[in-house]
Amino acid sequence: MENIDKELLIELSRVYGSLTNRVVEKLFTPSKRYYMRVNTLLITPGELIDIFREKYGIKLYQDPFVDEAVYIIVQGPYNVPVVDKKIVVDKNAAESIVLGANVYAPGVINYDDFRKGEEVNIVAPNGKIIALAVTEKSSDELKSIKKGVIAKTIKSLYKLPPIRDLEEYRAGLFYPQSLPAMLVSKIIKPKPREIIIDCCAAPGGKTTHLIQLSRGLAKIISIDRSIQKVLKIVENIKRLRQPENIHFHVGDARYIDLYYPLLKADKAIIDPPCSALGVRPKISIDKTFKDVINNSRYQIQFIKAVSRVLKHGGLLVYSTCTITFLENEYIAKKALGYGLKTVEVQLPYANKVYYGGIIAYRFDPLTNDINGYFIVVFKKTS
């Protein structure tokens, strides 16, 4: 097994017990289903499925529970040929390239001398060979450029079509998004004129889904802490060609009650920064138990602030893309101290969790070969 922080493994064992090692091993492989959300403001799922089949020979499948969710079957694992030259990429780039993405300049951290048109291995920071690629630039050219494709991947450990390079992606017909993340917005069920807060909203997956579900008629406050993050949300809204009945706020959602002291929201989403241990496939796990503790202390502050601006009877959905106890069940139980109670909902692919007076939902890689995720639904009672 990978060299993982021992205290972190103990933390994971609080949830998975004797299955902990199997869960961790699963994190290093992708789910066989790669999900995308169809932008039903522009096209139906059936129409997009037909385009992919007829134009590209790519088979899309519609999820049986979420109408706007379609998925591609991930192929692999494959053996990657070993050659003499290599390009080392950072962890974020490696996690895309392992699925067949091309190599872009911003992700490169080290490289041998190479010519244009030469075959090179793409290597993760931990030394693992993840792909074979053909260079589009020489190593001398790479020294002077900061963006663009450096090499085209021809063989990777796993394979997905280059969906972000497709005309339909640029036209806003779909948005790559995990199924559990889609379910968060489905739980919210945005209605016309409702005020809905989306905290830590970048890059805009949930915000754009709320717009889609409400046909632009809900009033959404989309908040994130930097202008770069908020601009990413704006970019996705424009790409998806969505109505803009939305208020963007650059700021820290932990202080939303100070920014908007008179606000009374109908509903809210909190998807705070987390250890992201449920995101697959992993190249390495460099998070530590200390990171988890710090995240947990940080996350509860969002719930404390948002609970103050939520209407009596209002709905709050808390979600993370991680699988630790301290960032999930512990936070949900602590939230009960802020005038909230958990609400039972029906969620496909999820395992129901009962702990200390809460009902929550876990998505784990072993049960349904899905990304690790956690959702808990609260109602404001006081």
Catalytic residues: 321
- For CA atoms 292, 224, 71, 64, the dihedral sign is positive
Contact 152, 177 (CB under 8 A): no
Contact 103, 122 (CB under 8 A): yes
The residue type found at 303 is I
Beta-bridge partners for 219: 195
Instruction: Encode burial over 125-162: b for 16+ CB neighbours within 10 A, e otherwise.
Output: beebbbbbbebbbebeebeeeeeeebbebebbbbbbbe
CA of residue 336 relative to chain centroid, distance = 26
Element (H, E) at 175: strand 174-176
**Residue 382 structure tokens:** 């006081």
Unique residue bearing structure tokens 């699925």: 99
Element (H, E) at 295: helix 289-308
Unique residue bearing structure tokens 């205290």: 7
Contact 132, 154 (CB under 8 A): yes
Non-local CB neighbours of 6 within 8 Å, separated by 6+ positions? none
Instruction: Assess whether the previous peptide bond of 203 is cis (omega < 30° from 0).
Output: yes
Pairing of strands 149-156, 174-176: unpaired
d(CA 100, CA 133): 10
d(CA 156, CA 161): 12
**Strand (E) positions, 18-171?**
33-38, 61-62, 69-73, 86-89, 103-104, 108-111, 119-123, 129-135, 149-156
